Structure 1
Amino acid sequence: MAHNVLKTVALASGLTTTLLFAGVNPAFAMSPFQASYQFNYNGKNMGSATRTLSKSGNNWTYVFAAKAGAMASATETSHFSLNNSGDIVSNSFNRHSKILVHNNTMSIDFNPNAKTISGKKDKKTYSFDWKAGVLDELNAELQLREDLKSSGLKSNYLIADAKEVESRHFIKQGNETVKTSYGTFDTIKVVLKHSKPNRDTIFWLAPKLDYAPVKVTHQDGKTSYGLLLTGYKGTTN
């Protein structure tokens, strides 16, 4: 159960960008930040999680980490850069989860020069065609945020896993007020549409916190998972 909790929460994050180029309003620039969350399973608090975005020059690193006591943990890391239009260019992605003594790993390497993407899940390897604008499950959230700050959501987003590239659709569903232990925020509600029935992922993004997610929920049949903000360090508006 813990593995499913951590994997699903990580995928939900599964979830930029108008940078400081000449003539662009700095208020819309992607900025480093750190956010902390509690996450729950079927309404019960299971542990804590963090999102951390850092940069060195034009090299960016986004890390999601979750932990359920001593029983389970999961970490996702996305490395990327930004092109002249301020859009994300994916470089690599990896995930590591541990349930008691069992470890699971996944990695993706993006090679636009060779027009290929290489994936590895545990001991199985994959190779498939690279596509312009392809994202990973983690930095897709950042691209989504930056698009909301500038021109609005795209009709679809190309997201790679270890085996293939899939087109995913995000829908803006208005505004909601969300109360957290860190404060109450006006948010933009965005729903990720899944191909499977009875499955929904919803993000609540707070413009006051540079569109960082203050709440994330995932419903899969009768099972639910969620994140709720407990702390934030970074740009505020």
Structure 2
Amino acid sequence: MAVLQLKTLSLIAGVTSAVLLTGYSSQTLAMSPFQASYQFAYNGKNLGSATRTLSQSGNNWSYVFVAKAGGLASATETSKFSMNNNQIVSSSFSRTSKVLVHNNTMSIKFNPAAKTITTSKDKENRSFAWKAGVLDELNAELQIREDLKGSGLKSNYLLADANEIESRKFIKQGSEKIKTNYGTFDTVKVVMKHDKPGRETIFWLAPKLDYLPVKVTHQDKKSSYGLLLTSYKGMSK
């Protein structure tokens, strides 16, 4: 059970990082710091909480996702990057997770000068060729928001993980009104398709909160997981 909870926490953190939608933004707004809190549920039962925090120091940005499922499991993901003409330049990504007394770690270092990306996952090291515009699981979400408010979405986004660079695509499926503990929001519904059957991830993003995900669900065969917004501090329209 604890292992499933931990996988859920990391999965939701990662997949929420790359959301695709169109048509709601009426003006360009610069990216700004925020903090959002969520309720975490497994198979319809509330088991824990999660937070997303974006902070800034000059042109150095940090995006952190923290999730906890009681005293059994926890996960933290951190993305560090800079901005260049509204484009994210990835610097590093890390993930630490814990189930009871068992710890797991993963890190990515982006080195455009050397044209390499180096990764380390539970002491296994890899290196592969760097590509322009490559993102990590967290900052991809922020890049998509910037694109939506600017020149428009790309046909795909390149994301690095521990083993390779992957291309991600998402499908818009209309709009929906979502009720949360923080309020009710008009949202855009976006579905991420998975290669494996029986899996589906859905995001609901609120333009009023600068396209913040206010709800996320993931179905993996007979298991279901979800996040629902409970509080928010940051930009709103």
**What TM-score do you get using the length of structure 1 for normalisation?**
0.92
Aligned residue in 2 for 1:9: 12
2:204 is equivalent to residue 204 of structure 1: yes
Deviates further, 138-147 or 156-165: 138-147
Give distance in 2, aligned partners of 1:154 and 1:198.
27
Between the aligned residues of both structures, percent identity stands at 72
Equivalent-residue separation in structure 1 for 2:176 and 2:152 (angstroms):
18
Query: Which residue in the other structure is 1:91 paired with?
Result: 91
1:141 aligns to what SS in structure 2? helix
Q: Secondary structure at the match of 2:170?
A: strand
Post-superposition offset of 1:149 = 2.2
Residue number in structure 1 paired with 2:157: 157
CA deviations over 1:192-227 (Å, ceiling 9, x no partner)? 222222222221111111111101111122211110
Shift in alpha-carbon separation, 1:149–1:27, aligned structure 2, 3 A: closer
Secondary structure of residue in 2 paired with 1:70: coil
- Within the alignment, does 1:57 sit opposite 2:96 as a pair? no
Q: Is the 8 A contact 1:108 1:161 kept in 2?
A: yes
TM normalised by structure 2 equals 0.92
Q: Find the counterpart in structure 1 of residue 22 from structure 2.
A: none
Query: How many angstroms does 1:124 deviate by?
Result: 0.3
Mapped contact 1:12–1:216 kept (Cα < 8 A): no
Find the residue that maps to 1:136 and give its secondary structure: coil
SS of equivalent to 1:76: strand
Q: Distance in 2 between matches of 1:154 and 1:141?
A: 13
Number of the residue aligned with 2:214: 214
Within 5 A, what are the aligned runs for 1:13-32? 13-15=16-18, 27-32=28-33
CA shift for structure 1 position 12 = 2.4
Alignment coverage as a number of residue pairs: 228
Which residue in the other structure is 1:126 paired with? 126
Partner of 2:186: 186
Partner of 2:226: 226
Residues 48 and 67, structure 2, Cα contact 8 Å, conserved in 1: yes
Answer whether contact 1:8 1:225 (CA < 8 A) is retained. Answer: no
Residues 117-162 of structure 1, C-alpha deviations (whole Å, 9 max, x = no match): 0001011001011111101011111112222223333211100001
**2:27–2:149 Cα contact (<8 Å) kept:** no
Q: Secondary structure at the match of 2:14?
A: helix
Distance (whole Å) between structure 2 residues aligned to residue 116 and residue 218 of structure 1 = 33
Distance between the aligned counterparts of 1:142 and 1:175, measured in 2? 20
Counterparts of 1:26 and 1:53 in 2: how far apart (Å)?
21
Structure 2 partner of 1:22 = none
Structure 1 residue aligned with 2:74: 73
Deviation at 1:27, TM superposition (A): 4.7
Cα distance in 2 between the residues matched to 1:135 and 1:190: 20
Provide the rounded CA distance (Å) in 2 between the counterparts of 1:51 and 1:138: 10
Runs of 4+ in 1 over 6 A off after TM superposition: none
Aligned ranges for residues 104-183 of structure 1 at < 5 Å?
A: 104-183=104-183
Contact 1:191 1:203 in 2 (8 A): yes
AA paired with 1:211?
Y
Match of 1:188, SS state, is strand
- In structure 1, what is the Cα distance between the partners aligned to 2:46 and 2:152? 34
Report which stretch shifted further, 172-181 or 195-204. Answer: 195-204
Deviation of the 1:26 alpha carbon: 8.1
Q: Which runs of 5+ in 2 are unaligned?
A: 20-25
1:195 is matched with which residue? 195
Structure 1 171/152 Cα, relative in aligned 2: closer, same or farther at 3 Å?
farther
